[in-house]
């Protein structure tokens, strides 16, 4: 029997569930607060990466296939990289102290959620049992 979120979930499924939840938080915060006066446009690549990470994570949760956890990791990482790139002008402005502004709390939450989503998805993929090995162990019992 293959482990899924609904049938006999393991720690890997909970890690992937938290990654998906953080991905939803990240996407929501980006859509609400991601546009700044330094870059008034959304990054479609960041949105695509976040959305794909959520989608692959959900498929991995309900199918129990390890490959979707890794695909979720790669998509969340892609979204994180483009999120940083889309916010680079804001980051540079604050680090150089051009106008004395500071990072808003939503920036920290958004970046933290983005970072944790790809880390948790990676940990999920690493700890999730492979389909073949689990079936082989059950037939030996």
Lowest mean pLDDT among 28-42, 54-68, 80-94, 127-141: 127-141
In a domain? residue 5: no
In a domain? residue 8: no
In a domain? residue 4: no
Residue 131 sits at the vertex; the CA angle it makes with 127 and 134, to the nearest 5 degrees, is 80
Q: What is the total count of domains within the chain?
A: 1
Q: Residue 8: what pLDDT? A: 67
In a domain? residue 14: no
- Give the rounded distance of the alpha carbon of 130 from its chain centre: 21
In a domain? residue 111: yes
Q: What pLDDT, in 10s, does the model give residues 106-120?
A: 999 999 999 999 999
Q: Can you tell me the mean pLDDT for 132-136?
A: 49
In a domain? residue 1: no
For the entire predicted model, the pTM comes to 0.84
Q: Residue 135: what pLDDT? A: 46
Q: Among positive and negative, which fits the CA dihedral 56, 57, 62, 65?
A: positive
Q: What pLDDT, in 10s, does the model give residues 72-83?
A: 999 999 999 999
Domain ranges, residue 105:
22-129
In a domain? residue 80: yes
How deeply is 18 buried, as exposed, middle or buried, from its count of CB atoms within 10 A (0-12, 13-18, 19+)? middle
Nearest to 20 by CA among 64, 60, 48: 60
Cβ-count burial 40-55 (b if 16+ within 10 Å, e if not): eeebeebbebbebbbb
In a domain? residue 53: yes
Q: Residue 2: what pLDDT? A: 62
């Amino acid at each position: 029997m293959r482990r899924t979120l609904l049938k006999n979930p393991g720690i890997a499924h909970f890690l992937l569930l938290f990654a998906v939840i953080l991905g939803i938080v990240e996407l929501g915060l980006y859509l609400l607060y991601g546009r700044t006066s330094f870059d008034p446009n959304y990054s479609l690549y960041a949105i695509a990466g976040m959305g794909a990470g959520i989608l692959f994570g959900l498929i991995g949760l309900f199918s129990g296939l390890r490959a979707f956890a890794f695909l979720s990791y790669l998509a969340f990482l892609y979204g994180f990289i483009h999120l940083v790139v889309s916010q680079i002008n804001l980051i540079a402005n604050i680090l150089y102290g051009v106008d004395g502004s500071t990072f808003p709390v939503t920036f920290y939450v958004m970046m933290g959620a983005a970072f944790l989503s790809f880390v948790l998805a990676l940990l999920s993929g690493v700890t999730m049992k492979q389909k073949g090995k689990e079936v082989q162990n059950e037939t030996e019992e």
